[in-house]
């Protein structure tokens, strides 16, 4: 959420900053700006809109070899030119870009106003520029530390100062910040995506640390300005993963990458001989694993819904009571943390602040947390006691797809391992392993029917309002289907348990309110089909995601059959047509698929 990029070296900074911002745009896209530090001091260009609007509006001579850039997702104040970052002090000596939220911004604004300083924007960030400018410390590092001492909140930030023309200073507390090492040039970024074409050798700043970055290198310090060592490491990443290639959008590309991504998360982790999974990264021996009495899964948004699917897997396979909870609510209800509960944090980005804070709360109270995380070395991955990396590859589209598939498979591996040190038989373990082995090709089978599903989506796109319904295993699938649909099509899509429909929402069903029903071939099929009749009797149009040979009776509907696997694994296949439905409905409606309205990738603010 929000993106930062910075450059210091021998090249002109503007094209590098604009390119970096374009690659960060999925993290915020309501306004953008850059500040350059040149021979004549600091120059700033910023405006509401996309990075391309910024680029088109840049002054002719906008040169400098040190600069910082930002793409914004508004928190304080609307998306307009003034609120766009970078922010400067009154004299224009200091420019700051910032991700995160300054919680005490209101009192700091008042303090600055009392000192006669005019604040021009509505943002929390602007106070930082003034505080740095007011500091009487002799070094830029000292000024930044003094300014930050007054601040409560989260930040990843980059600062330039006209009196220190050879450097950028960056700082981090809760929002990621990395330093990229080039040949006599250096980069800073909130996300590797911004700089991946120029360097993959990076050092991650820790929370509470700051760094000086010059063309010749970088130095890292703790908050007290005592040097700390941070070594740059080369990351194994293919820059093409950050390009759309032949696809019209990242979401499309990432949906189609699912078979390969699914194969990666399973690779080397299935043990056919013992009918189990090997997850060394959990850092738990068999005795500790057997001592677990409860599993509590925490995630946000779609990760929470997959967490619900994961809880069902853990209960079914390991027979351990399990549930999932929205991480954003968890710590506010002062939860009881139990020593024999295994807490599982699930996150694609590994940065979602609500999930991170939940992890910290659990660990503060002595609980054990493992992570199911996609981004290696991310804050949540580092905060956990152990975990499973999802190996989905970089996910750029705001609407998550391949990471969610791999989260489900990660839960299946976890449930298998937990189950096999308890009552799950070797035969059942092997049955699931064979099922998991088939998942990548079965996802491919569904993706191969994209044009058929696209035709259904075009009908759904016409509806202002839709229901997504399912029961038990199918309910989190319905929730994820509704989430994806509303997120990118902006249609009102509501998920309900099929069994609850008749207790109220059936009142809304009519010929203009379609229902997408999840009806797998399982112990609830007959009851699900009964509900379809009730909807059809009220002239509600129906799309049914089901298995071949499931008898839907005389119900008038469009059916989409998914391949059969083991029942426990059904959700991961049932959800794929829902991704395609959402994608093609949004395409039909002409929306910007990768940059849905009001949203951004990686929610790093509470």
User: Binder to ligand F6R among 44, 193, 388, 603 (CB under 6 A)?
Assistant: 603
348: contact with ligand F6R by CB under 6 A: yes
**H or E element at residue 17:** helix 13-24
Q: Tell the smallest beta-carbon distance from residue 410 to ligand F6R (Å).
A: 12
d(Cα 154, Cα 176) in Å, to the nearest integer? 10
Shorter beta-carbon distance to ligand F6R: residue 399 or 552:
399
259: contact with ligand F6R by CB under 6 A: no
Please state whether beta strands 465-470 and 515-519 pair in parallel, antiparallel, or not at all (unpaired): parallel
User: Binder to ligand F6R among 593, 602, 604, 605 (CB under 6 A)?
Assistant: 602
Residue 225 is classified by DSSP as S
d(Cα 28, Cα 21) in Å, to the nearest integer? 10
User: Binder to ligand F6R among 125, 175, 220, 400 (CB under 6 A)?
Assistant: 400
Q: Tell the smallest beta-carbon distance from residue 294 to ligand F6R (Å).
A: 22
The set of residues, in sequence order, having a beta carbon less than 8 Å from that of 427 and lying 6+ positions away, is 275
Q: Tell the smallest beta-carbon distance from residue 561 to ligand F6R (Å).
A: 25
- By CB under 6 A, what part of segment 300-339 binds ligand F6R? 300-303
Q: Tell the smallest beta-carbon distance from residue 522 to ligand F6R (Å).
A: 26
211-241 burial, b if ≥16 CB within 10 A, otherwise e?
bbbbbeebebbeeeeeebebebeeeebeeeb
Cβ contact 343:315 at 8 Å: no
- By CB under 6 A, what part of segment 25-84 binds ligand F6R? none
282: contact with ligand F6R by CB under 6 A: no
Q: Tell the smallest beta-carbon distance from residue 125 to ligand F6R (Å).
A: 23
Shorter beta-carbon distance to ligand F6R: residue 148 or 300:
300
Tokens representing residue 604 in the block: 């790093």
Shorter beta-carbon distance to ligand F6R: residue 18 or 593:
593
User: Binder to ligand F6R among 48, 213, 399, 529 (CB under 6 A)?
Assistant: 399
Binding residue count for ligand F6R, defined by CB under 6 A: 15
Shorter beta-carbon distance to ligand F6R: residue 502 or 597:
597
Helix residue ranges, H only, 187-301: 250-256, 258-266, 286-290
Residue with structure tokens 């970024």? 189
Stretch that binds ligand F6R, among 210-218, 344-352, 513-521, 583-591 (CB under 6 A): 344-352
d(Cα 307, Cα 407) in Å, to the nearest integer? 8
Q: How far is CA 86 from the centre of its chain?
A: 24
Tokens representing residue 568 in the block: 């426990």
Shorter beta-carbon distance to ligand F6R: residue 300 or 460:
300
Q: Tell the smallest beta-carbon distance from residue 345 to ligand F6R (Å).
A: 9
Q: Tell the smallest beta-carbon distance from residue 308 to ligand F6R (Å).
A: 13
Residue 206 is classified by DSSP as P
Cβ contact 353:345 at 8 Å: no
Stretch that binds ligand F6R, among 179-187, 221-229, 252-260, 343-351 (CB under 6 A): 343-351
Residue with structure tokens 């149009």? 541
Closest by Cα among 223, 227, 272, 258 to 430: 272
Q: Tell the smallest beta-carbon distance from residue 121 to ligand F6R (Å).
A: 27
Q: How far is CA 421 from the centre of its chain?
A: 32
What is the pattern of x (binds ligand F6R, CB under 6 A) and - over residues 352-391? x--x------------------------------------
Q: Tell the smallest beta-carbon distance from residue 377 to ligand F6R (Å).
A: 14
Shorter beta-carbon distance to ligand F6R: residue 18 or 311:
311
d(Cα 67, Cα 212) in Å, to the nearest integer? 14
477: contact with ligand F6R by CB under 6 A: no
d(Cα 593, Cα 587) in Å, to the nearest integer? 7
Stretch that binds ligand F6R, among 169-177, 230-238, 349-357, 569-577 (CB under 6 A): 349-357
**Coil, strand or helix: which one is 145?**
helix
Q: What angle do CA 412, 418, 420 make, to 5 degrees?
A: 100
Tokens representing residue 312 in the block: 């069902």
Closest by Cα among 5, 2, 4 to 13: 5
Stretch that binds ligand F6R, among 82-90, 341-349, 357-365, 461-469 (CB under 6 A): 341-349
Residue whose beta carbon is closest to ligand F6R: 301
Tokens representing residue 197 in the block: 């074409």
CA distances from 84 to 31, 121, 258, 391, 589 (A): 6, 9, 36, 35, 29
d(Cα 206, Cα 229) in Å, to the nearest integer? 10
Task: Find the helix packing angle between 570-588 and 302-318, rounded to 10°.
Answer: 160
Q: How far is CA 371 from the centre of its chain?
A: 14
9: contact with ligand F6R by CB under 6 A: no
Shorter beta-carbon distance to ligand F6R: residue 301 or 310:
301
- Catalytic positions are 2, 601
What is the pattern of x (binds ligand F6R, CB under 6 A) and - over residues 287-306? -------------xxxx---
474: contact with ligand F6R by CB under 6 A: no
Q: Tell the smallest beta-carbon distance from residue 596 to ligand F6R (Å).
A: 9
**Coil, strand or helix: which one is 548?**
coil
156: contact with ligand F6R by CB under 6 A: no
Shorter beta-carbon distance to ligand F6R: residue 212 or 349:
349
Shorter beta-carbon distance to ligand F6R: residue 9 or 176:
176
Shorter beta-carbon distance to ligand F6R: residue 199 or 349:
349
Residues within the interface to ligand F6R (CB under 6 A): 300-303, 347-349, 352, 355, 399-400, 483, 487, 602-603
């Amino acid at each position: 959420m929000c993106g930062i990029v910075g450059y210091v070296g021998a090249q002109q900074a503007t094209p590098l900053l604009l390119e970096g911002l374009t690659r960060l745009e999925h993290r915020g896209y309501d306004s953008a700006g850059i500040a350059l530090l040149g021979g004549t001091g600091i120059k700033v260009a910023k405006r509401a809109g996309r990075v391309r609007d910024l680029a088109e509006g840049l002054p002719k001579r906008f040169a400098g070899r040190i600069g910082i850039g930002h793409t914004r997702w508004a928190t304080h104040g609307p998306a307009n030119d003034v609120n766009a970052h970078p922010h400067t002090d009154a004299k224009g000596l200091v420019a700051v870009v910032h991700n995160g939220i300054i919680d005490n911004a209101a009192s700091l604004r008042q303090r600055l106003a009392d000192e006669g300083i005019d604040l021009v924007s509505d943002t929390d960030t602007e106070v930082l520029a003034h505080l740095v400018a007011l500091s009487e410390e002799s070094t830029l590092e000292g000024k930044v530390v003094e300014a930050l001492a007054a601040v409560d909140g989260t930040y990843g930030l980059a600062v330039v100062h006209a009196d220190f023309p050879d450097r950028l200073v960056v700082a981090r507390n809760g929002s990621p910040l990395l330093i990229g090492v080039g040949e006599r040039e250096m980069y800073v970024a909130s996300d590797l995506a911004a700089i991946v074409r120029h360097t993959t050798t990076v050092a991650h700043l820790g929370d509470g640390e700051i760094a000086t970055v010059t063309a010749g290198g970088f130095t890292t310090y703790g908050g007290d300005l005592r040097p700390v060592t941070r070594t740059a490491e080369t990351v194994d990443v293919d820059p093409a993963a950050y390009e759309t290639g032949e696809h019209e959008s990242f979401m499309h590309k990432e949906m189609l990458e699912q078979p390969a991504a699914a194969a990666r998360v399973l690779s080397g982790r299935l043990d056919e001989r013992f009918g189990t999974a090997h997850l060394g990264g959990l850092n738990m021996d068999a005795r500790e694993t057997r001592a677990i009495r409860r599993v509590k899964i925490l995630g946000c948004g779609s990760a929470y819904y997959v967490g619900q699917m994961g809880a069902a897997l853990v209960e079914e396979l390991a027979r351990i009571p399990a549930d999932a909870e929205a991480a954003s609510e968890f710590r506010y209800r002062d939860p009881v943390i139990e020593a024999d509960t295994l807490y599982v944090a699930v996150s694609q980005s590994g940065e979602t602040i609500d999930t991170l804070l939940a992890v910290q709360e659990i660990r503060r109270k002595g609980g054990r947390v493992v992570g199911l995380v996609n981004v290696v070395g991310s804050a949540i991955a580092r905060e956990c006691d152990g975990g499973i990396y999802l190996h989905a590859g970089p996910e750029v589209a705001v609407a998550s797809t391949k990471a969610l598939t791999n989260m489900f498979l990660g839960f299946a591996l976890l449930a298998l391992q937990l189950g096999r040190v308890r009552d799950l038989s070797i035969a059942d373990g092997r049955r699931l392993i064979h099922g998991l082995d088939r998942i990548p090709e079965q996802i491919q089978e569904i993706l191969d029917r994209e044009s058929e599903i696209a035709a259904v989506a075009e009908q759904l796109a016409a509806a202002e309002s839709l229901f997504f319904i399912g029961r038990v295993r199918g309910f989190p699938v319905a929730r994820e289907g509704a989430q994806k649909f509303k997120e990118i099509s902006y249609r009102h899509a509501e998920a309900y348990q099929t069994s609850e429909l008749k207790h109220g929402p059936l009142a809304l069903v009519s010929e203009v309110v379609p229902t997408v029903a999840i009806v797998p071939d399982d112990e609830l099929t007959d009851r699900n089909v009964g509900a379809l009749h009730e909807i059809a009797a009220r002239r509600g149009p129906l799309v049914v995601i089901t298995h071949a040979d499931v008898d839907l009776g005389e119900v008038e509907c469009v059916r989409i059959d998914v391949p059969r696997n083991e029942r426990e694994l059904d959700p991961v296949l049932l959800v794929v047509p829902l991704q395609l439905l959402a994608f093609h409905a949004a395409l039909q409606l002409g929306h910007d698929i990768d940059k849905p309205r009001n949203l951004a990738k990686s929610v790093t603010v509470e």
